[in-house]
Amino acid sequence: MSGGVRGRRVASPPSTWFAIQIKELPNFQRELSVRAAYAAGMAEPFRHHHRVSYAECTVGDHIYHARYLDLLEAARAEFLRSLEQTVRQLQDADFIFPVIEARLRFLAPARYDDWLTIEVWPTLVERVRLNFGHRIRNQNGKLILEAETFHCCTSREEKPRRLPPALVTRLKPLLVLENVSGPGVSTGLP
**pTM (predicted TM-score):** 0.73
**Does the pLDDT at position 126 exceed 50?**
yes
The residues that bridge with 20 in the sheet, in sequence order, are: none
Say which residues have a Cβ less than 8 Å from residue 16's Cβ, sequence separation at least 6. Answer: 10, 178
The predicted-structure confidence for 34-45, as pLDDT tens digits, reads as follows: 444 444 455 689
Range with the largest mean pLDDT of 3-7, 12-16, 137-141:
137-141
**Residue 18 pLDDT class (50, 70, 90 cuts):** very low
Q: How far apart (Å, rounded) are the C-alpha atoms in residues 32 and 60? A: 34
For residue 99, give the H/E element and its range: strand 99-106
Cα–Cα–Cα angle for 40, 46, 50, rounded to 5 degrees: 140
Q: How far apart (Å, rounded) are the C-alpha atoms in residues 16 and 32? A: 17
Q: At residue 146, what are phi and psi to the nearest 5 degrees?
A: -120, 140
Q: Residue 85 gets which letter from DSSP?
A: -
Q: Where are the alpha helices (DSSP H) in the chain?
A: 14-23, 27-39, 67-82, 87-92, 165-171
Going along the chain from its start, the domains and CATH numbers come out as 44-174 (3.10.129.10)
**Does the pLDDT at position 87 exceed 80?**
yes
Q: Are 144 and 108 in contact (CB under 8 A)?
A: yes
**Does the pLDDT at position 11 exceed 60?**
no
